[in-house]
Structure 1
C-alpha cells in the first residue's frame, strides 16, 4: 500500500509542476496595465451613447483583461495588444494628435474605417506604429494632406486610405467630397518603402499632382491596387498588367472626361488578374483580342471608355467571368454569339452602345447564360423580336431592354422569369396585349412597359401583384375600362397617354401608398369628385390633364394632401381653384390650364412661396397680375386670359424667372425694365397685347434668352443695338411681327445670332425646353400661313424669325444666309428689297 502511495505521488509531481508552469504562462496573456489604460483613455476621447449606437468599446471596462475586449486582439505569448478593429464603431469627434492610441507600440493591425473624425488631419504620429502591417482608416472623414511620415510604415502589407464614394445612374451622378490629398513626394517615398505591400487602396484620394508612372515602382508582391476616382492625369503605364501577382486592379477616370488614359496591351498580359475595372478611362479605340488571355478574370468593367468596333471574339474565352460591364461605349455590329460561352456570368451590362440587329438567339448565345441575375441591354439599338431563349435565364432578377428597336409581341417565354424584381421594356415598338403570363411575376417591384405600341385592355391581375411598387404603362394604346384597383404596395402608377375609357373607379382609394398618379391624356369621361383622393395621404404628384373629365370639389369636403408637390388639372372643366390646393403647403408646380376658371387670381397664391411653376393659361381670369408672383416663380404662364393694366414692374434683383408667358391678354403700358434682373430668363412672350414701347434693346444683357416674342403689340421705332458688340447669342426664336417697327432690318443683331448659325440635332434625339425642376414643357404660339398654332413643346432645335407686318425697309442682308438652322423666316408685308444671299 505504501509503495503504491509513493509511486502515485512520484507520478503526480511532474504533472503538478506542469500545471504550475501552464498557470504561470497563462498569466502572461493578460495585457499590460499601461496598454489597458491607454485604450480606456482613448475610449473617453469619443463619448458614445450606447443606447442608440452599438460600439465595441462598450465592453471596455476596468478590471477586465483588455485582451477579451471586443475589437482587441493580443499576442498569445507576450499579451501585448497587436490588433485593434474599431471599424463602424460610432467614433465621432476630432481625432486627437496626442491620442493615447499611439502608446500601443506593438500594434500590427489597426482598423478605424467608417467612423467620423470630423475632417481631422491624419496625425503624423501614426508613424510610431513601426510594426504595423495592416492599416485601414478608410471612409472616416480624415482630410488634408496625407502626412509624409506615413512612408515610415515600411512593414505595411495592406494600406487603405479611401475616403470617396461615387456612383452614376441614368439620371444623376452622386459623389461624396474628396478630403484627402496625396502629394508626389509622399507617394514616391511610400512606394519606395513599401517593399512588402500586397494591398494598396487609395480610391478617392486627390492625386492631381501625381505622375502615374510612380506606381510602377511598387513591389511585385502587389495583389490589389485600387485608384478609383483619384483625379490622376496623363498616361498610366500599361506595364502594370505585367505585375506577376496582381489580381485586383481598379483604375477609373472622372466620368468620361478623358483626363487619364491607359493603353491596353495587345499581348503579354502576364498578371493573374481576377478583377479589372477601368471605367471612365480612355483605353484607346479598340478592345484588343488579347483580353481573352486573362483566363482567371472574374469581373471586367470597361464602361464609359469610348471603345468602338466589335467586341472581340476572344471574350468568350473568359470562362471564369461572373460580371461583364461594357456599357456606354461605341461598340457596334451584332452582339457576339461567343458571349454565350460565359456560363458563369451573373451580371451582363452592355447598355448604351451601337449594336445592330437582333440579340443572338442560338443555343450557344445569350440564352445559355443560365446563372445571370442581371441583364442590362438598354439603349443599344438592338432590333427584331426578343429571342425566346431569354426565357431560359430563370435566375434573372433585373432585366432591362428599354430604349431599343425591339418589335413584335412580348414573348411568352418570359413567363419563366419568376424571380424578376425589375422588368424594363420601355421605348421600343412592342405591340399586342400584355401577355397573361406576366401575372406569375409575384416578386416584381418595377414594371416599365411605357412608350410602346401595346394595346388591348389592362388585365386585372396587373393591379394585384403583391410587391409591385412602380408601374409604368404610359404612352401606349391601351383601351377599355379600368375594372378595379386593389390595395397593394403601388407607390407610382402612370397610365397617361393611352385610350382608356369610362370613369376613374372609386377603388383608386385603395392605393393608400401611392405618391405618383398619372392618368393624363386618356378618354375618360364623367364627373370626378376630387374628394375621392382624400385618403391618398402619401400623394405627391397628381396628373389628370386632358382626359375629358369634369372635376368637382364637394362643397362640404375639407381635406388636405400634406405631401402634395405637383398638380396638373389641365382641360378638366374646372370653374374654380380646388380648395385642397390652398391647404397644400409644399406645392411646387400647379398647372390648371385650359379650364373655365374665372375671376381674379386668389390672394392665397401669394402664400405659396414654394411654387416654382404656375400655369393658369387659357382660362377666364381677369384683373391685375399680382406683384407677389414675381418673387419666387421659375415659370409663369398666364397666356390667353383677360388680364389688363401694366405688367408688374417689380422684378426683384436675383430674380430666378426662366419663362414669362403673357401672350394673348390685354396688357398695356411699357415693358418693365426690371426684367433685366431675371438673368436666367429663357423665354419672354408678351405677344398679342397692347404694349406700347420701343424695342427693348436692354434685353441684350440677358445671356440665356432663347425665345423673344413681341408680336401684335404697339411697339415702334428702330430695332437697333445701343452697344458696339450686341448680344442675343442664344436667341433662336424672334417674333416682332405686326408692330410698327421701321428702318433697316437689325443687321447687327443678326450677325450675332450664333444659335441660329449652328446645326442642331445631330447628336441624338432633339429635346424640349422645360422647367429645370420638373418635366413641365414650355409652349409657344407660332404663325404659319396666316394661322396661329400653339406648340405644346419648344424643341431645342427650333429656330425662326418673324418680322412681317412692320415698316422695315432697305435690302435683306446676306447674313440671313448664314442662319443655317432656321426652320421659319417671314419678312413679308414690309418695304424690303432682295439682294444676293450668300450661303
Structure 2
C-alpha cells in the first residue's frame, strides 16, 4: 500500500482550472467583438454542419475528468450570431471566426477528412483537446489553415501518423499533439519532424508527450527555433542520445524528456555549466543522465519544478539549496549513495536545503538512503507532500515532523524505522494520507491519530504494533484502513461502523479475538474485508432478515476458527460479485479520491505463497475461506458469483459433491477445494472454466474419471493427489483398468513441473500476471505503469511525477 499526494488543490478543482486555462490561452473572447460586425452566413453554416458530424457523449472520459459539465456546441443555434457562441471568437473588425476552442466538449465520433471546419480560412487558433474522435486520423486538410498560430489536439482520440502537412503551417507558434491517455496512438516519423523543425521558424511551444517517435533521431530537435520556450517530450518513445545543447536554448522555460517505461534506451548528459537561465520546469525520467548531478544545477535560479529519475550516482550537491523558487523536488529512483550531504561530507541533510522555503513537494524515495531523518526537515514548513518511501532510513520518526502543519501526505513505508509513532503526529491536522507500511515500528497506536480528522488513507501494515485497535477512530472519514501484519489484539472495535466511507478494511495477520463482525454490513461502500490469520471464531451469519454487503468483492476469512455452514445468507447477496464487468463496464483501480491507482494493496494466497498486489481492480473478486472448520455442502449459489477470479475453500470439513454450478464461474482463475471431505465425481461442467490456471482438488474422496479438455489438459498430478478412486490423465491409474503408459504420465508430469509457468504466461490468466497485465493491457504495447511483482514494487514517486507532468504541460 502506498501513500499518494494531492499535488495542489483538490483534483476536481485542478481539472476545472486546467480546462479554463486551456480555454483562455487558445481563444480570444467573443465578448470583445464589436456589435457592428457579425460572422458571415457561410462561416456560421460551416460551424453548424461541423456540429452535426458528432454526437455529444457525456461519458467521454477525457472531458469528464477535466471537470466540464456541458458541451460548448450546445449553444450553437441557427439565427444567433455565431460570434456569441461558446468557444467561438471573431475578429473585431472583419467579424471572421479566428479562434475555436472546443476543448472538453464531449464530442464523440469520427473526424471527417472533408469537415466543413476547413472552410474557416481565417482561423488562427484551434483547440480540439479532450474529446473522443474514435481513433480518427488527423486530416491532411489541416494545411488549409494557413493563418493558424495555435493548434491543440491533445488527448482527443486521434491515431495513426501525424500528417506531413502539419509541417506546412508557416505561422504556427504552439503545437500540442500530446496523448496522455492512450500513449503511442499517434506516430511522428522522421521526415515529418525534420520538416516541422525546419519550417516552423516561429514555434515557441512544442508538446509531443506520449507521441510515438521510435524512428526519430533526437538530434533533429536541435534545429528548433531559438525562441522555443516549451519542449515536452514526456514518454514519447524516443531512443538514442539527446544532445544536451537543448539546455542552452536562450528562452527555454519548460523541458520534459523521458524514455519508455521499462527501457533505458535514451540518454542525455547534464551540462556542467552554461544552463539556460530562464528554465523553470525540468523533468527527466526513465533514462540515463550521466553519472552525477552537477553542482551547476544550483545556477538555475528560476527553477520551480525539478524531477530527475535517471540513475544518477554520487551525492546530492549542496548547491541545490540555491534554488529558492523551487516548489517541487523529486530525486527518487536514482542511485545516490549514503546520506544527503554537503561538500564537507557532514552526513547531514545540507543546511542549504532549509533555504527552499517555497518547497511544497519533496520526494526522495527508492534511493537507499540510510541513517535517521534529521530534525532539520521540520524547517520545510510549506511541504504538503513528503515521500521517503523505500530507503534504509532508521531510528525513530522525528517529532520535528509536527512542524509540517501543511502536510497532506506522508510516506515513510519500506524503511527501518523503529520505536513508537510520536504522539506529535497528531499535530498534522491536514494529513489525508499516512503510510508507515513495512518498518519495525512498535508499541500501541497513538491516540493522537484521532486528531487527524482529514485522514482518509491509513496504512500501518507490517509493523509490530500491539494492543487493541483504538476506538478513537470513531467518526472517522477513512476510506482505507490497513493494519495487516501486526500484533493487534482484543476485539475489532465497533466504532468502525462509524467509518461510513470505508472501502477497504484489512486487519489480517494479527491476534484479534472476536466473532464475525456482522455489524460491518451497514458500511455501504465496503469492498474489501480481510480478517485472515486471527482468532475469529463462531458461525458466520447475519442478524438481519435481509443481510447485505452490497459492494463487497473481496472476502478473506482464512486461517481462523470459523465453523458451521458456509455463509449462504451473505453469498446470495454479494451483488458486486455477480457483475463481471464492474459498475461502469470497464476495469479500474480502486483509489482514494485524487490519488493514483496503487493506493490500495491486497495480499492473495496463490499456490501456497502470499503475493501482494499493488492495486485492486474494480473487477477483481475473490473468496478465501480456507483453514477454518466450515462443514456441510458447498452451496450451489456460489455459481452465481460470475465475477470471481479466485475461490479457496481448502482445509475445512466440507462434504458432499462439488456443485456443477461452479462451471458458471467463467472468470475463475484459481480454484482450491483441497483437504476437505468432498465426494462424487469432478463435474464435467468445470471444463468450461477456460481462464483457470490453478486447480487443487487434492486430499478429498473424489471418484471416477478426471474430465478432459481446455485447461484440464494442463493440470498435473498435484491437482488430484490423495483421491484414491480418481483415474485418467494425468494420473497413472487408467479408468479402463489398464495402466496409463509411462511416457504419457511422464509428459504430463513434466508439464506440471516445467510447463506450468509457460501456461500462465501463455494464457495470461494467472493471478500475478493476469491481474497485473490482463485487465489493463487494452493495447498491444506494455503499459507504462507495469512492473511484475517478481521485479519489485513500482515507485510511487514515479507515478506522482507522471501526474505532476500533466500540471506542468498545461500550466504554460
TM-score class, shorter-chain normalisation, is 0.7 to 0.9
Q: 1:719 to 1:337 in 2, by over 3 A?
A: farther
SS in 1 for 2:424: helix
Per-residue CA deviation, residues 267-322 of structure 1 (Å, 9 max, x unaligned), is 5546743333232223344444554554544333322x233333455545545444
| Cα distance in structure 2, aligned partners of 1:229 and 1:696 | 48
Among 103, 109, 123, the residue aligned to 1:107: 123
Per-residue CA deviation, residues 104-141 of structure 1 (Å, 9 max, x unaligned), is 33332222322333333323232222222222222222
Q: 1:276 to 1:688 in 2, by over 3 A?
A: same
Counterpart in 1 of 2:137?
121
Any stretches of 5+ residues in structure 1 without a counterpart?
1-24, 166-174, 340-356, 699-713, 734-751, 753-768, 776-794, 798-839
Counterpart in 1 of 2:626?
593
| Cα distance in structure 1, aligned partners of 2:394 and 2:239 | 44
SS in 2 for 1:652: helix
Question: What pairs with 1:814-833 in structure 2 (closer than 5 Å)?
Answer: none
Question: Which stretch has the larger CA shift, 717-726 or 560-569?
Answer: 717-726
SS in 2 for 1:191: helix
Counterpart in 2 of 1:642?
677
Counterpart in 2 of 1:130?
146
| Cα distance in structure 2, aligned partners of 1:610 and 1:184 | 46
> 1:561: Cα distance to partner?
0.8
Counterpart in 2 of 1:275?
281
| Cα distance in structure 1, aligned partners of 2:749 and 2:672 | 32
Question: Which stretch has the larger CA shift, 581-590 or 452-461?
Answer: 452-461
Counterpart in 1 of 2:496?
508
Question: Whose helix fraction is larger, Structure 1's or Structure 2's?
Answer: 2
Counterpart in 2 of 1:307?
312
Counterpart in 2 of 1:475?
462
C-alpha contact 2:654 2:677 (8 A) present in aligned 1: yes
Q: 1:423 to 1:275 in 2, by over 3 A?
A: closer
> 1:662: Cα distance to partner?
3.3
Counterpart in 2 of 1:829?
none
C-alpha contact 2:90 2:99 (8 A) present in aligned 1: yes
Among 690, 697, 709, the residue aligned to 2:724: 690
C-alpha contact 2:327 2:360 (8 A) present in aligned 1: no
1:580 matched to 2:570: yes
> 1:590: Cα distance to partner?
1.6
1:560 matched to 2:545: no
> 1:58: Cα distance to partner?
4.9
Taking structure 1 as the reference length, the TM-score comes to 0.71
Taking structure 2 as the reference length, the TM-score comes to 0.73
Counterpart in 2 of 1:199?
205
Q: 1:361 to 1:271 in 2, by over 3 A?
A: closer
SS in 2 for 1:246: coil
Counterpart in 2 of 1:609?
642
Per-residue CA deviation, residues 510-548 of structure 1 (Å, 9 max, x unaligned), is 22222222223333335x254322212322121223322
C-alpha contact 2:729 2:745 (8 A) present in aligned 1: no
| Cα distance in structure 2, aligned partners of 1:27 and 1:619 | 82
Counterpart in 1 of 2:417?
430
1:448 matched to 2:435: yes
Question: What pairs with 1:163-562 in structure 2 (closer than 5 Å)?
Answer: 164-165=179-180, 175-269=181-275, 272-303=278-309, 305-312=310-317, 314-337=319-342, 360-361=348-349, 364-463=351-450, 465-482=452-469, 484=471, 485-526=473-514, 528=515, 530-552=517-539, 553=541, 557-562=545-550
Any stretches of 5+ residues in structure 2 without a counterpart?
1-32, 59-67, 578-620, 733-737, 759-765, 773-788, 792-812
Q: 1:73 to 1:683 in 2, by over 3 A?
A: farther
Q: 1:557 to 1:366 in 2, by over 3 A?
A: farther
Counterpart in 1 of 2:25?
none
The Cα RMSD (Å) is: 4.0
> 1:475: Cα distance to partner?
2.8
SS in 1 for 2:492: coil
C-alpha contact 1:669 1:690 (8 A) present in aligned 2: no
Q: 1:111 to 1:511 in 2, by over 3 A?
A: closer
| Cα distance in structure 1, aligned partners of 2:276 and 2:132 | 41
Q: 1:237 to 1:634 in 2, by over 3 A?
A: same
C-alpha contact 2:700 2:723 (8 A) present in aligned 1: yes
Q: 1:121 to 1:627 in 2, by over 3 A?
A: same
Counterpart in 2 of 1:354?
none
Per-residue CA deviation, residues 309-355 of structure 1 (Å, 9 max, x unaligned), is 3345554554544433332222223223479xxxxxxxxxxxxxxxx
1:150 matched to 2:156: no
| Cα distance in structure 1, aligned partners of 2:717 and 2:277 | 58
Per-residue CA deviation, residues 556-596 of structure 1 (Å, 9 max, x unaligned), is 64311111111122213322212213321333222222222
Q: Which has the higher contact order (CA 8 A, sep 6+)?
A: 2
